[in-house]
Amino acid sequence: MRLPDAGTSLTRADRRASRAAWVVGLVAGASVVFLLSWFELASVDLGYHLAYGRRWLETHRIVDCDPFIFAAQAGRFANANWLGQVWMASADKLGGATGLVAMRTLLIAATFGGVAWVAARRGAGAAVGFVLALAGFAAYERFDLRPELFSYALLVAQLGVLVAGPRRIWIAAAVAFVLQVLWVNLHSYFLVAPLMTCAWLVAERVRGIFESGRRELNGSLCRAAAVLGGQIIGCFVNPWFAEGAVFPIRTLLFLRAQGVSAGGPSGGAGGPWSAISEFHSPWNYIGYAVNGHTIEAWLVLLAVAGIGVAAGLRLGRWGDSAIIVLLGGMSFSMRRNIAMFAIGATPLAIGAIVTACAGLRIRRTASAIGSIVLVYVAVWLGWSIRSGEFYFRELRANRRFGFGWNSSAFPIEAATWIRGQQSVGPKVFADFGSSSNVIPLLPAGWRVYADTNTFAYPPEVLAAVQQISAGVSEYRSLFDAEGVNVVLVNAASSSKGLAEQMAADGEWAPVWFDRAFIVFVRRTSELAELVERSAVHPQQLDVESWVSAAKRATGDAGWELAQSAGVPLALGWYEQAAALLERATALEPRYGLAWMNLGTAYGQLAMTAGRCGAPTDRVRDQLQRAKACFERALQIDPGDTLAGRNLKLAEQGLGTLR
């Protein structure tokens, strides 16, 4: 990458100032990307990808029929992620969490290094830093370690081949072919490359109608056609040949039939896959705190892209404009596609805008101001992420600035306890969000229902797992039919309802817990000794040690504590829950759910005191505290219907004591 020529009319001082602004902006933009990508491993999908990859390392056979789940209906599927899973498992084998974080860092660095290179080649100049920052803000939601990180690196590589790569036709076609062969075996986004090339070809051919006779344009079209041919042939170089080549189309048709884009923050409106938020349309998330930064960046990017399309048409870059429109249209359908839009469209759009403004005198002033703004953004972002403020504002519970395994996403200690009790296996039920990451932690031959590949088992099975995890469907018939004797639940998540049901079920006993997970074992004659030996009690929860652990884990200890309080709430340990939530609301008074849960804890304490014949003043005091907490929750979130209902119940209870 080099700084574009500033022009002979500039003085040496002007050139130095221009170069300094470019370097400062580039460093600031790269810092933004780094800060957004440096967090603990927390992907809910990482576990099964590692398990699939380990299976290949052990057997040299691709997993295309899930061997880890105990759904009888499990069927075969084209595992388009197989090579990415092998590479991820290899990184894990070589370095554990360090190896996986290194892989994630290298993939993101390669992706945004390519973004910067394409932006510079398309004339972004001193705005390259802004390209990195905007693309980073729009894409960071997808920075968890998944096979799709390979897609982002290959997307920008294919884009570079198309718009700024080798000029010789055979070299461009060969490079495109090799990249496509890698892509079709690493992740299922590979059809994006030929789609981009088709869009570029059609747009440039239309332009050629108005500019006939230009040898340069005709040569460019021939080169792009050769690139497209290499990409199409590369799609078929996979273990399933034609089935693998069309796998993304089959997936899209399946998800469309599931009604995925109709879902929103309140849940899915179609089949079970519609309950997964990344498949929802981003339009449904405007105005919500959930994923708020991503949506804000996406809206800014849409505006920039619109200007970039107009500038590209004016400059004769019709192909670039077509790619921007294509990727932008893809982002409308699913929130997960925003990242591809950001990575592919941002360098083209800003490159066109900067080139179109080349003759404006304010360009150097704007460059200097832009660099200063980027430095401010990088400094603010560093403080905001390190303090936990950034992720708190969009309620992204599993994101923590740091290194290694996220203890809320990976039940390492819980699984270690389960492995030590061989008599409870070999079938484990884990809540929907934790199921994938349990797989590689279990002994060989053990099984679990898991959120895995789209076609691993039928939607009705997935729906049953989701409903049981959410506590809205009974679990006994499934557990009895499958012979499940051990259940692991993340009580610090949306699965708290299941944990509450099981804690109140005399057939099941809580035998292990930490600040996120609870393990339940079925009360059977064979497991009676284990249940008696491992029974947990409220005195095992040391409030001060949990507070200290929360402060060590993240800068926003209040939010962390509020999440952890789901464990004692689920177990019915309301005194401990109230103590944790009092500390949580003192540290983070803006978290409405913490106030709502604190009110619930006080309400339950009041009910218990009333049943035990405690003095009326004590019951009244607890209900008044509950009422105040529900009122505070409603001040923060007036739309919290549960807090509203609980407030009325607290007021009714106080009325009966008068």
pLDDT-above-90 percentage for the chain: 65
Q: What burial class does residue 285 get, using C-beta atoms within 10 Å of its C-beta: 0-12 exposed, 13-18 middle, 19+ buried?
A: buried
Domains with residue ranges and CATH for the chain: 78-358 (no CATH), 412-540 (no CATH), 543-657 (1.25.40.10)
Q: Which H/E stretch holds residue 554?
A: none
Whose CA is closest to 47, among 435, 514, 516? 435
Q: How many alpha carbons fall within 13 Å on the CB side of residue 545?
A: 6
Per-residue pLDDT for 454 more than 90? no
Neighbours of 14 (CB within 10 A): 13
The band of 1, judged by pLDDT with boundaries at 50, 70 and 90, is very low
Per-residue pLDDT for 9 more than 60? no
Per-residue pLDDT for 278 more than 60? yes
> CA 531 from chain center: how many Å?
37
pLDDT, tens only, 103-151: 999 999 999 999 999 999 999 988 999 999 999 999 999 999 999 999 9
What is the structure's pLDDT at 394? 86
Per-residue pLDDT for 260 more than 80? no
Which backbone phi and psi does 42 adopt, to 5 degrees? -145, 10
Eight-state DSSP code of residue 5: P
Three-class secondary structure of residue 448 per DSSP: strand
The band of 450, judged by pLDDT with boundaries at 50, 70 and 90, is confident
pLDDT, tens only, 311-352: 999 999 999 999 999 999 999 999 999 999 999 999 999 999
The band of 5, judged by pLDDT with boundaries at 50, 70 and 90, is very low
Gap between the Cα atoms of 178 and 412, Å rounded: 39
> CA 52 from chain center: how many Å?
20
Least confident of 10-24, 290-304, 413-427, 483-497: 10-24
CA distances (Å), origin 251, targets 88, 255, 271, 326, 496: 23, 6, 14, 19, 31
Per-residue pLDDT for 261 more than 70? no
What is the structure's pLDDT at 22? 82
Whose CA is closest to 584, among 617, 629, 623? 629
Q: How is residue 301 written in tokens?
A: 């990017």
Contact (CB, 8 A) for 204 and 318: yes
Gap between the Cα atoms of 556 and 179, Å rounded: 42
CA 249, 251, 257 angle in degrees (round to 5)?
105
Beta bridge partners of 488: 430, 519
Q: How is residue 377 written in tokens?
A: 């953004």
Gap between the Cα atoms of 589 and 562, Å rounded: 11
**Residue that is written with structure tokens 């209906």 in the block:** 73
Gap between the Cα atoms of 286 and 292, Å rounded: 8
CA distances (Å), origin 371, targets 17, 62, 305, 379: 11, 48, 21, 12
Q: Which H/E stretch holds residue 310?
A: helix 292-315
What is the structure's pLDDT at 265? 67
CB under 8 Å to 60, separation ≥6 — which residues?
none
Contact (CB, 8 A) for 88 and 49: yes
Look at phi and psi of residue 10 and say left if phi exceeds 0, alpha if psi is from -120 to 50, else beta. beta
Beta bridge partners of 521: 486, 509
CA 367, 369, 371 angle in degrees (round to 5)?
70
CA distances (Å), origin 558, targets 216, 389, 580, 616: 62, 11, 9, 32
End-to-end CA distance of the chain: 77
CA 49, 50, 51, 55 dihedral sign is positive
Per-residue pLDDT for 553 more than 90? no
CA 84, 234, 344, 6 dihedral sign is positive
Whose CA is closest to 456, among 41, 52, 22, 114? 52
Gap between the Cα atoms of 22 and 3, Å rounded: 8
CA 632, 635, 636, 639 dihedral sign is positive
